[in-house]
Amino acid sequence: MVDLSRILAGPFASMILADMGADVIKVEEPILGDESRGFGPFKDGFSAYFISINRGKRSVTLNLKDRKGKEILKELVKRSDVLLENFRPGTMKRLGLDYDALKSVNPRLVYAACSGFGQTGPLSQNGAYDLIIQAMGGMMSITGEPGGAPVKVGASIADLTAALYTVIGILTALRVRDQTGVGQLVDVAMLDCQICILENAIARYVVANEIPGPIGSRHPSVTPFQAFPTRDEYLVVCIGNDRLWQRFCQAIRRPDLEKDPRFEVNARRNENYEVLRPILEEVFRSRPAEEWMKLLEREGIPCGPINTVDKVVSHPQIQAREMIAEIDHGSLGRIKMPAFPIKFSLTPGKVDRPAPRLGEHTEEVLVGLLGMSREEVAVLRQRKVI
Amino acid sequence: MVDLSRILAGPFASMILADMGADVIKVEEPILGDESRGFGPFKDGFSAYFISINRGKRSVTLNLKDRKGKEILKELVKRSDVLLENFRPGTMKRLGLDYDALKSVNPRLVYAACSGFGQTGPLSQNGAYDLIIQAMGGMMSITGEPGGAPVKVGASIADLTAALYTVIGILTALRVRDQTGVGQLVDVAMLDCQICILENAIARYVVANEIPGPIGSRHPSVTPFQAFPTRDEYLVVCIGNDRLWQRFCQAIRRPDLEKDPRFEVNARRNENYEVLRPILEEVFRSRPAEEWMKLLEREGIPCGPINTVDKVVSHPQIQAREMIAEIDHGSLGRIKMPAFPIKFSLTPGKVDRPAPRLGEHTEEVLVGLLGMSREEVAVLRQRKVI
């Protein structure tokens, strides 16, 4: 596939496809390349950010404003199943490389465009950052402490969700193409995807006419189901039903709470949340988190630690699932990053090739795939087309 | 496809497939059905929660503990491309219906299992709630205010991310099956998926040996790039580079800031964040959010409102993208919900059939698909197999 995408949403999508075996040819602007090559943190001058979302791809530099550059892109498109781009809508048209132009070159092409607001609508031409989409799409309005300042999801969830939907769109369009012989345009907007993952927030508004706000770590309708501070660290406890509540009261040696009519069933506990919370906070403060978790797990009560990233990376379950890959990046040595999370029994994904240096595979692709001579490539390089 | 999944991650995945045209046969326990039929908010006794993630599916009741129930499931599997389940690992084996048992019935079957911790590893048998995975997987450690209580992402992002990866796994395995004739097991764990969306948090830890913490609405390395309070509501502003900073200073009529060496380039602004923040807070408090946005947008400065769910649903861009579907649910009338976010030019998804009542299609499927007689179905109903 030809991948013109930069920064996050597009490259995250093409990384998933590369992990599953796609030959991703990342086409980058000569000289600077993907902007995220300049994003920290750095190691020996290489962006760890870039490296962690561009593994397994080949990099080809190409000036898409140059006539010859456009020609080469079309040659690549002729030989590709998929083209992915996440430019601001209109950019590809201005370059003469939009879907209408490219489908005449390759009618079987699946053309995926991932953008902030989509290819249509009044805001389609606006640029978008993850933060803006999290804010406009409602996610920030339901994340954070009640009455507190707005908080964003710690990771760029608007970009990443759009990436996952884009992969779904590409795979579906490929299957349709296998059956019909015809490709199509797949248009994915970060904002559209964001509202699809608001989950029950929309149902609550539409049906109960309630505008959901942020509620910290709590479940909106189940109690107790949240984070509690212990003597040392926080832990989360999920008392999902009344049977668990009874077991929980016994586990924490508070049979009085079990018998208290204010807390007898979930609906009552939820009503009396402000009474119950300080009581449980006092209970949990009496021991360290680890001790509580051993005690609760013994009774089969769902609970867990709030892991920082260092603990996540070394967690036994993450290790057992081989979810941290180590990729050899030549001069940088071995770099750890999240591995591929879909475990296929027959055709497992693989994460073994590092992210490319800018233009590392230009000659390989132009000579090997397009059949150019080394002399032609040298001329293109001199002319700054590549 | 046969869909044995309940509550959120599985049903969200099969909803996406149903939106794209799959015939999803949702197999539910007789009498109670999918637990989420009992989750609020309710309208006229129907769960709005259930309705919003089970549209377009058919519901068949089946007691999988009954010998005849297992037989019927195998008949459905024979005629299906995909089986999806999100039971705790081990449950399907105890029922005699795990992948090994079902692939002998249909070697072309794609069997997708979505679980909290995956089919392998020391925690595989543990149950998981979204909150536990958000906590254990590191997302909560990077979300919230610095020094504040832990905060979860407002939506069930651990479930939903696993759902999206599960769809990717199913579509990929189907394509492999189309090419090779053989199905496979697709094993997706919420915890594995969660660490894949930590984005640069893992790179920062692995390369810079920094353990990322929560930073409210801020960007970790770009300033100003966050939410600010205005005279009325908050807004977000994203000054992604130094050129934008200059335009921004002019737009807010503070040329003094542009010339201030403490704020000249992003690296300096980031260092002097605690000096700059209160200055900008004071600036923004002087006008209401809407006025600021008009002024900033005129200068091409990326910014946006922090929309609550009511504003999201009625937003002109969301409307223009037809991202709110209205589905007629018979007695409930028309119910709004997020539409399908992947816009295919040739084979658009469709969102038009409501979520099924429990067992609404049992007879239709048993008679129409499996060729049973109405008498046989009546006997099964009497025996409580369906």
CB spacing of A302 vs B128 below 8 angstroms? yes
Please count the residue pairs, one from chain A and one from chain B, whose beta carbons lie less than 8 angstroms apart.
473
Q: Helix crossing, B289-298 with B242-251: angle to 10°?
A: 120
Burial class (CB in 10 A: 0-12, 13-18, 19+), B225: buried
In this structure, the number of other CB atoms found within 10 A of the CB of residue A109 comes to 25
CA angle at A43 for the pair A85 and B191, rounded to the nearest 5°: 65
Distance CA A230, CA A250 (A): 18
- Chain A residue closest in CA terms to B318: A192
Facing A203 at nearest CB: one of B48, B144, B173: B48
What is d(CA B188, CA B184) in angstroms, rounded to the nearest whole number? 13
Question: Which residue in chain B is spatially nearest to A219 when comparing CA positions?
Answer: B131
- A303/B347 Cβ within 8 A: no
Helix (H, G, I), strand (E, B) or coil at A303: strand
Q: How far is B299 from chain A (nearest CA, A)?
A: 12
Q: What values do phi and psi take at B23, rounded to 5?
A: -85, 100
Active-site hit among A219, A315, A329, A361: A219
- Interchain CB distance below 8 Å, B302 and A132: yes
Q: How far is CA B238 from the centre of its chain?
A: 26
> pLDDT tier at B220 (50, 70, 90 boundaries)?
confident
Closest-CA distance of chain A to residue B131, Å = 7
Residue A249's pLDDT is: 97
How far is A230 from A292, CA to CA, in rounded Å? 8
Question: Is A329 known to be catalytic?
Answer: no
Nearest residue of B to residue A221, measured between CA atoms: B40
Q: Does the distance separating the beta carbons of B154 and A214 come in below 8 Å?
A: yes
The alpha-carbon gap from B11 to the nearest alpha carbon of chain A, in Å, equals 12
Nearest to A202 among B52, B178, B307 (CB): B52
Mutate to test the interface with A, among B125, B166, B321, B336 (most CBs of A within 10 A): B321
Q: What is the residue extent of each domain of chain A? A: 2-197+318-382, 225-306
| Most B CBs within 10 Å, among A8, A312, A331, to test the B interface | A312
Q: Do the chains contact at A120 and B309, CB–CB below 8 Å?
A: no
Nearest to A196 among B154, B315, B341 (CB): B341
Q: According to the model, what pLDDT value does residue A332 have? A: 85
Nearest CA in chain B to A236: B132
B188 closest CB neighbour out of A129, A201, A341: A341
The distance in angstroms from the start CA to the end CA of chain A is 19
Alpha carbons B320 and A117: distance in angstroms, whole number: 10
Judged by CB atoms closer than 8 Å, whether chains meet at A129 and B302 is answered as yes
Residues of B with catalytic annotation?
A: 219
Q: If pLDDT is split at 50, 70 and 90, which confidence band does B381 have?
A: very high
Query: Which of chain B's residues have a Cβ under 8 Å away from the Cβ of A227?
Result: 135, 140, 149-150, 152
| pTM of model > 0.90 | yes
A38-52, A286-300, B72-86, B282-296, range with the lowest pLDDT? A38-52
**Dihedral, A173, B13, B189, B115 alpha carbons, nearest 10:** -150
* Beta strand residue intervals within B151-262, DSSP E: 185-189, 225-229, 234-238
Among B19, B39, B343, the strongest candidate for a mutation testing the A interface, having the largest count of A CBs within 10 A, is B343
Q: What is the pLDDT, as a whole number, of residue B84?
A: 98
Pick from B129, B139, B225: which is nearest to A154 by CB?
B139
CA B41/CA B60 separation, integer angstroms: 24
Distance CA A174, CA A162 (A): 18
Report d(CA B222, CA B217) in Å as an integer.
Answer: 12
- Burial label, B295 (beta-carbon count in 10 A; 0-12, 13-18, 19+): middle
Helix (H) or strand (E) holding A59: strand A58-61
Which of A201, A207, A316 lies nearest to residue B154, judging by beta carbons? A201
- Residues from chain A that touch B198, judged by Cβ atoms under 8 A, are 154-155, 309, 312, 338
What ipTM was estimated for this complex?
0.98
Q: What is the DSSP letter of A384?
A: T
Q: Which residues of A touch B182 (CB under 8 A)?
A: 346
Q: How far is B95 from chain A (nearest CA, A)?
A: 21
Rounded CA separation A144/B311 (Å): 19
8 A C-beta contact, residue A356 and residue A68: no
Alpha carbon separation from A96 to A5, A90, A119, A145, A339 (Å, rounded): 17, 10, 16, 48, 37
Q: Cβ separation of A221 and B148 shorter than 8 Å?
A: no
* DSSP assignment of B60-104: EE--TTSHHHHHHHHHHHHT-SEEEE-SPTTHHHHTT-SHHHHHH
Minimal Cβ distance to A341: which of B151, B165, B205: B165
8 Å CB contact of A306 and B141: yes
What fold, for B2-197+321-382?
Rossmann fold (3.40.50)
| Chain-chain contact of B141 with A309 (C-beta, under 8 angstroms) | yes
Contacts of A66 (CB under 8 A, 6+ apart): A383, A384, A385
Cβ A171–B175 below 8 Å, yes or no?
yes
Instruction: Name which CATH class applies to A225-306.
Output: alpha beta
pLDDT tens per residue across span B307-325: 999 999 999 999 999 999 9
Q: What is the pLDDT at residue B221?
A: 85
**CA B239 to CA B295: how far, in whole Å?**
15
CB contact (8 A) between residue B144 and residue A123? no
Pick among 3.40.630.30, 3.40.50.10540, 3.30.390.10, 3.50.50.60: CATH of A2-197+318-382: 3.40.50.10540
B330: confidence class by pLDDT, cuts 50, 70, 90: confident
Query: What pLDDT, on the 0 to 100 scale, is given for residue B41?
Result: 86
CA of B230: which chain A residue's CA is closest? A149
**Mean pLDDT, chain B, as a whole number?**
96
Phi/psi of residue B182, each to 5°? Answer: -120, 135
Contacts of B199 in chain A (CB under 8 A): 8, 155-156, 160
Residue of A nearest to B235 (CA): A135
Mind listing the pLDDT tens digit of every residue in chain A (386 residues)? 999 999 999 999 999 999 999 999 999 999 999 999 998 888 898 999 999 999 999 999 999 999 999 999 999 999 999 999 999 999 999 999 999 999 999 999 999 999 999 999 999 999 899 999 999 999 999 999 999 999 999 999 999 999 999 999 999 999 999 999 999 999 999 999 999 999 889 999 998 899 999 999 999 889 999 999 999 999 999 999 999 999 999 999 999 999 999 999 999 999 999 999 999 999 999 999 999 999 999 999 999 999 999 999 999 999 999 999 999 988 788 999 999 999 999 999 989 899 999 999 999 999 999 999 999 999 999 999 99
Closest by CA position to B117, among listed B102, B127, B103, B109:
B127
Identify whether the C-beta of residue A125 lies closer than 8 Å to the C-beta of residue A114. Answer: no
Q: Are B62 and B70 in contact (CB under 8 A)?
A: no
Q: Do B186 and A345 touch (CB under 8 A)?
A: yes
CB contact set of A141 (below 8 Å; sequence gap of 6+): A150, A212, A213, A214, B154, B306, B307, B308, B309
User: Nearest Cβ partner of A211 from B141, B153, B308?
Assistant: B308
Please tell me whether the peptide bond between A341 and the residue prior to it is cis, using omega within 30 degrees of 0. Answer: no
Instruction: Using an 8 Å CB-CB cutoff, list chain A residues near B161.
Output: 160-161, 164
Q: How confident is the model at residue B40 (pLDDT cuts 50, 70, 90)?
A: confident
Query: What residues of B are in contact with residue A192 (Cβ under 8 Å)?
Result: 318, 321, 323, 341, 343
Beta carbons of A251 and A303 less than 8 angstroms apart: no
Please provide residue B76's backbone torsions phi and psi, each rounded to the nearest 5 degrees: -65, -40
Find chain A residues with C-beta within 8 A of B284's C-beta.
none
Nearest chain B residue (CA) to A348? B186
For B339, name the nearest residue in chain A, comparing CA atoms only: A196
**pLDDT given for residue A326 in this prediction:** 93
Which chain A residues are within 8 Å of B170, Cβ to Cβ? none
* H/E stretch holding A235: strand A234-238
Which runs of E-coded beta strand occur in chain B? 2-3, 25-28, 42-43, 46-47, 58-61, 82-85, 110-115, 185-189, 225-229, 234-238, 303-305, 324-328, 334-338, 342-344
Burial of B326 from C-beta contacts in 10 A (0-12 / 13-18 / 19+): middle
